Chains A and B, each alone.
Chain A
Amino acid sequence: MPPETTDLREEYTRFIGRKILFIAILAVLLILIAGIATSLGSANIPLIDTYAAIVDRFLPDYFNPSNLATNVVWNLRLPRILMGVFAGIGLAVAGSAMQGILRNPLASPYTLGIASAAGFGAALAILLGKGFVGGEYLVIANAFIFALLASVVIIGIARYKGARPETMILAGIAIMYFFSAMTSLLQYFGEADAVKEVVFWMLGDLDRSSWDTLGLVGIVLVCCIPLLILKSWDLNVMGAGDETAKSLGVQVEKVRILSMVLAALLTASIVCFTGTIGFIGLVSPHITRMAIGGDNRFLLPASGIVGAVLLVGADTIARNIIAPVILPVGIMTSFIGVPFFFYLIMRKRREYW
């Protein structure tokens, strides 16, 4: 083997190694932030007690957390934090998948209107009678159907060559406003308290998390994300243009539709329990891309973790910034997201990746 090849191989290994290292560091950071977030709140529980209470479940004999700590951590705080983690991962992965599929740096579940559509679907299902068929599954299914509807419109627009990235996003935002107007209208017809909390659907909130809903969201995440990561080679090639991808043997339409459906499912299952939390799916892929580049094999998982860190961080700030009042987390994510959105539009149109 000539020496250049080994050099290249080493360089590639190092190149990949850096990305894996980045993901590992992020994972550690996530665990830290989740711990800190769990320890903050109206009941005063030190950080060490928090970790002790968590680890105690798995290794019962080594730690002695207080009863209060165990209770508060496991029953009150952890569901919320974990929902933040799951929602962050799901939205960010969905966002990076959408950005890849549509080759549009402004795409995300929120800015394409898919999250609002899902929110409307969920609100409608709740209004029409939860428990009609299988309770929460019905809500998710309905949300999914509406999310698919929005995705179909977006994919339809993407087929036109004349559609600039901005045009697509404008259509997405129009869809978003349409469905959020419809959701607000629902409150006038509905008795259900759940529907009346329009702010919940509009701005997103982690208040409603419980272990049951966490399980449901977890299952969806476990099913969808590996499938998307499996498709990441195809997504990488599609980044170079549909023609190139086709000539390399990628079934572009199939991959695009499958990935879009998966992303919509991810979005729908999360929105059902958190409302439409904006901008996580927009911001985290970009942050990740700045750090480790646009290779979807690493971009998808890494941006998922970045999304989780961002969302848990934002939620912690939202809970503690004006202490007794808990702000909806969507307001916090918008504070990060809107300036970013400005930046992405205003940026000179070089290549986006």
Chain B
Amino acid sequence: MNVHMSARRKVLFIFSLLFIIIIMAVVSISLGAANITIWDVCSAILNKFFPDHFNPSEFAEFVVWQMRIPRILMAILAGIGLAVAGTIFQSTFRNSLASPYTLGVLSAAAFGTSLATVLGIERSMVNLPIAIMMSTFVALLPAFFIYRFVKRKASPEAAILIGIAFLFLFSILTPMLLLFTEAGVAKESMFWMSGGLDRASWTEIGIVFFTLLFCIPLLLLKSRDFDMIADTKYITKEEKTRNAGIFIASLMSAVIVCFTGIIGFVGLVAPCTTKTIIGGEHRFLIPASGLLGGVLLLGLDALARTIITPVILPVGFLTSLIGIPLFIYLITRIVIRSEHR
């Protein structure tokens, strides 16, 4: 993609995204059923760090720290993780339609997690790593299967179709599995299918945070290699980096799915948009698309919470409603491009 933008302006773009995230987070914390103004939010947050200068009400402090902030943080982290995973998938597969959702990785991870639940692995601190491992393990299945398929010179559309087939497969298997559990099946499968940020707690945020903290710098270190891999002009044999990239992207997606269910299309929309704005250089692309993913999911979650007030919509619906038109647009672009070839 030929986007000529100086490195400095790219950095500026990243920092402005960061700034937007902070503003949006504060605004988004003040939104909700309990009536709390933005000033209450600010003082409640600052009070933790500078105890003596601010006097937020106890109520505001409780709502902000226990209910709103975990949700907001989870939205940001999940957005970042999914978007970065999407970026990596798009580069390694050289496919603008690739994303954790469209490759079937998310639904596979959801299946892995529900499998852990069905097998009686309780969601406690000790067992959580096992659940995450199972979910990652299943999530690797579609990614590497499709990768092998792509290596046999399959068309990009066929690769995505295989991903969709995996999506179909796991989205019947998961409700089937949940039939064996006691808990409300319909509700559970709804959670897995359409994603929700309701369940965020501080420990879960910690886990996601440290996973991202581990994964994203690793990817950034290899950003030069990813530039080569993504560029169709080169025939690179960066097999190791490719495999590592797919592995890390699947891992991030799986960890996020464990706590949020399937939130589709964030990992498609963010990288595509970012690529058209700042181009395909991974040094900038990875952080920028991550932050854009955070902005996107944060904004959509705020919308999902406020659009029909007492009801909280699953955020996955809204991301789909944005993502699917983009998906269709990308398909028509492929069609038109191959028409002119």
Most central of A161, A182, A188 by chain B CB within 10 Å: A188
- Nearest CB in chain A: distance from B268 CB, A: 11
Most central of B97, B158, B336, B339 by chain A CB within 10 Å: B158
Return chain B residues, CB-CB under 8 Å to A106. Answer: 161
Task: Answer whether residue A155 sits at the interface, using C-beta atoms and an 8 A cutoff.
Answer: no
Task: Answer whether residue A132 sits at the interface, using C-beta atoms and an 8 A cutoff.
Answer: no
Task: Answer whether residue B46 sits at the interface, using C-beta atoms and an 8 A cutoff.
Answer: no
Q: Is chain B's interface secondary structure helix, strand, loop, or mixed overall?
A: helix
Return chain B residues, CB-CB under 8 Å to A161. Answer: 339
Task: Answer whether residue A199 sits at the interface, using C-beta atoms and an 8 A cutoff.
Answer: yes
In the complex, identify which listed stretch (B172-180, B231-239, B240-248, B269-277) lies at the interface while the others stay far away: B172-180
Task: Answer whether residue B308 sits at the interface, using C-beta atoms and an 8 A cutoff.
Answer: yes
Q: How many residues of B contact A (CB 8 A)?
A: 38
Contacts A181-B324, A189-B308, A322-B179 given: A167-B165 contact, CB under 8 Å?
no
Asked if B335 and A178 make an inter-chain contact with CB atoms under 8 angstroms apart, the answer reads no
Asked if B158 and A345 make an inter-chain contact with CB atoms under 8 angstroms apart, the answer reads yes
Return chain A residues, CB-CB under 8 Å to B8. Answer: none
Contacts A189-B308, A338-B169 given: A177-B162 contact, CB under 8 Å?
no
Cα–Cα, bound, A255→B176 (Å):
42
Asked if B335 and A163 make an inter-chain contact with CB atoms under 8 angstroms apart, the answer reads yes
A interface residue count range (under 10 / 10 to 19 / 20 to 34 / 35 or more): 35 or more
Cα–Cα, bound, A204→B338 (Å):
37
Task: Answer whether residue A173 sits at the interface, using C-beta atoms and an 8 A cutoff.
Answer: yes
Asked if A338 and B172 make an inter-chain contact with CB atoms under 8 angstroms apart, the answer reads yes
Asked if B165 and A345 make an inter-chain contact with CB atoms under 8 angstroms apart, the answer reads yes
- Nearest CB in chain B: distance from A200 CB, A: 12
Task: Answer whether residue B151 sits at the interface, using C-beta atoms and an 8 A cutoff.
Answer: no
Contacts A185-B313, A334-B168 given: A162-B338 contact, CB under 8 Å?
yes
Q: Mark B299-341, 1 if CB is under 8 A from A, else 0.
A: 0000000001001010001001100110110011011111111
Q: When the two chains form the complex, which single residue of A181, A327, A331 contacts B317, counting CB atoms closer than 8 Å?
A: A181
Q: Mark A160-196, 1 if CB is under 8 A from B, else 0.
A: 1111101101110111011001101100110000000
Contacts A162-B338, A164-B157, A189-B308 given: A338-B165 contact, CB under 8 Å?
yes
- Nearest CB in chain A: distance from B129 CB, A: 31
Cα–Cα, bound, A171→B336 (Å):
13
Return chain A residues, CB-CB under 8 Å to B336. Answer: 160, 162
Task: Answer whether residue A346 sits at the interface, using C-beta atoms and an 8 A cutoff.
Answer: yes
Task: Answer whether residue A74 sits at the interface, using C-beta atoms and an 8 A cutoff.
Answer: no
Q: Mark A126-170, 1 if CB is under 8 A from B, else 0.
A: 000000000000000000000000000000010011111011011
Asked if A342 and B335 make an inter-chain contact with CB atoms under 8 angstroms apart, the answer reads no
Contacts A177-B324, A342-B165 given: A334-B339 contact, CB under 8 Å?
no
Return chain A residues, CB-CB under 8 Å to B308. Answer: 188-189
For window 297-353 of A, CB contacts with B under 8 Å fall at 322, 325, 327, 331, 334-335, 337-338, 341-342, 345-346
Cα–Cα, bound, A287→B338 (Å):
32
- Nearest CB in chain A: distance from B118 CB, A: 15
Cα–Cα, bound, A51→B88 (Å):
61
Asked if B172 and A170 make an inter-chain contact with CB atoms under 8 angstroms apart, the answer reads no
Q: When the two chains form the complex, which single residue of B149, B164, B169, B317 contacts A185, counting CB atoms closer than 8 Å?
A: B317
- Nearest CB in chain A: distance from B234 CB, A: 25
Q: A184: nearest residue on chain B (CB-CB)?
A: B317
Asked if B165 and A177 make an inter-chain contact with CB atoms under 8 angstroms apart, the answer reads no
Asked if B317 and A174 make an inter-chain contact with CB atoms under 8 angstroms apart, the answer reads no
Return chain A residues, CB-CB under 8 Å to B97. Answer: 170
Cα–Cα, bound, A182→B176 (Å):
24
Asked if B313 and A188 make an inter-chain contact with CB atoms under 8 angstroms apart, the answer reads yes
Cα–Cα, bound, A163→B333 (Å):
10
Contacts A157-B332, A170-B331, A177-B320 given: A335-B339 contact, CB under 8 Å?
no
- Nearest CB in chain B: distance from A278 CB, A: 8
Return chain B residues, CB-CB under 8 Å to A331. Answer: 172, 175-176
Return chain B residues, CB-CB under 8 Å to A178. Answer: 320-321, 324-325, 328
Cα–Cα, bound, A182→B335 (Å):
26
Asked if A164 and B164 make an inter-chain contact with CB atoms under 8 angstroms apart, the answer reads no
Cα–Cα, bound, A142→B320 (Å):
24
Return chain A residues, CB-CB under 8 Å to B165. Answer: 338, 341-342, 345
Q: B186: nearest residue on chain A (CB-CB)?
A: A199
- Nearest CB in chain B: distance from A283 CB, A: 13
Task: Answer whether residue B289 sits at the interface, using C-beta atoms and an 8 A cutoff.
Answer: no
Contacts A171-B331, A188-B313 given: A346-B149 contact, CB under 8 Å?
yes
Return chain B residues, CB-CB under 8 Å to A335. Answer: 172
Cα–Cα, bound, A342→B340 (Å):
30
Return chain B residues, CB-CB under 8 Å to A199. Answer: 186
Asked if A173 and B172 make an inter-chain contact with CB atoms under 8 angstroms apart, the answer reads no
Asked if B169 and A171 make an inter-chain contact with CB atoms under 8 angstroms apart, the answer reads no
Task: Answer whether residue B16 sits at the interface, using C-beta atoms and an 8 A cutoff.
Answer: no
What 15 new A-B contacts, CB under 8 Å, besides A167-B157, A175-B328?
Answer: A157-B332, A161-B339, A162-B336, A164-B338, A169-B161, A170-B164, A174-B324, A177-B324, A178-B321, A178-B325, A188-B308, A188-B311, A325-B179, A338-B165, A345-B165
A–B pairs, 30, beta carbons within 8 Å: A106-B161, A157-B332, A160-B335, A160-B339, A162-B338, A162-B340, A162-B341, A163-B335, A164-B155, A167-B335, A170-B97, A170-B160, A170-B161, A171-B328, A173-B164, A174-B328, A178-B328, A182-B321, A185-B317, A199-B186, A334-B172, A337-B168, A338-B165, A338-B168, A338-B169, A338-B172, A342-B162, A342-B165, A345-B161, A346-B162
